[in-house]
């Protein structure tokens, strides 16, 4: 029996077996390259090229984010030392803005709280439904639209906190509505926080600010 010689061409996604070229199919098996449609192979090569660049950029963004946070933390520690702050570190860091002397560049850190809703939210939904079922038709359609948006779940199965908090803008003397808002307040649970970095610049003092688009929240 002839020996099977395997050679993987990672960049092209081609496996050479005894001198013949194959590609790995969706089931994990090997398909002769000669049987693959030209457009399918071109699509494969395009995707591999894009993903290759994406991985490189993601790694660079990750390193940039790490270095940026380290630089900001070091500057904050210098300030703490200068003014005699005993507590060290950035555990309590919040929203901050750092600016160049000429006022043409800024770096901002923003901390958003991560929240979820407890079972009180469903109690609030029941109270709100009671109100809507009994209130007059005048203006109810608009309120019902707000309620629908508030309690609809997204593709991840989560309720939009912004839509829920919109309900607090509705004023009502109905005790059930007031109790519903109290239940929503009680339902809010802070489960963590996430820090975001924002970078902006302007060419002159008369120019508009330009945001440097870097989506590094997950980098």
Instruction: Judge whether 174 lies within some domain.
Output: yes
Both structure tokens of 96: 């901050």
Model pTM score: 0.63
Domain assignment present for residue 167? The answer is yes
Q: What is the pLDDT of residues 119-128, one digit of tens each?
A: 999 999 999 9
Residue 187 inside a domain? The answer is yes
Q: Is 171 part of a structural domain of the chain? A: yes
Within a domain: residue 73? no
DSSP 69-121: HHHHHHHHHHHHHHTT--S-SSTT---EEEE-TTSSEEEEEEEEEEEEE-THH
Domain count, the chain: 1
Q: What percentage of the chain reaches a pLDDT higher than 70?
A: 85
pLDDT of residue 214: 84
**Residue 46 falls inside a structural domain:** no
Residue 151 lies in a domain: yes
**C-alpha dist (Å) from residue 102 to 71, 128, 153, 198:** 20, 53, 46, 18
> Please, what is the average pLDDT of the chain?
84
pLDDT digits (tens, 9 = 90+) for 75-120: 988 988 888 876 655 544 568 999 999 999 999 998 888 888 999 9
Domain that holds residue 215: 94-219
Q: Is residue 188 part of a domain?
A: yes
Three-state SS for 197? strand
């Amino acid at each position: 029996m002839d020996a099977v010689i395997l050679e993987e061409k990672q960049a092209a996604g081609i496996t050479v077996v005894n001198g013949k070229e194959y590609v790995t199919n969706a089931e994990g098996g090997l398909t002769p390259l000669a049987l693959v449609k030209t457009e399918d192979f071109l699509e494969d090569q395009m995707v591999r090229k894009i993903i290759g660049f994406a991985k490189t950029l993601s790694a660079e963004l990750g390193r940039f984010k790490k270095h940026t946070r380290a630089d900001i933390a070091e500057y904050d520690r210098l300030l703490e030392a200068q003014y005699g702050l005993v507590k060290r570190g950035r555990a309590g860091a919040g929203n901050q803005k750092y600016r160049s002397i000429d006022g043409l560049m800024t770096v901002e850190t923003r901390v958003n709280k991560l929240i979820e809703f407890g079972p009180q939210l469903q109690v609030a939904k029941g109270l709100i439904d009671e109100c809507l079922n009994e209130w007059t038709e005048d203006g109810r359609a608009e309120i019902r639209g707000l309620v629908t948006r508030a309690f609809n779940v997204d593709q991840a199965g989560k309720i939009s906190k912004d839509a829920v908090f919109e309900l607090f803008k509705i004023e009502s003397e109905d005790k059930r509505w007031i109790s519903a808002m109290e239940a929503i307040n009680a339902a809010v649970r802070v489960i963590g926080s996430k820090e975001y970095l924002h970078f902006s610049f302007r060419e002159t003092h008369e120019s508009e600010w330009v945001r440097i688009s870097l989506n590094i929240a997950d980098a």
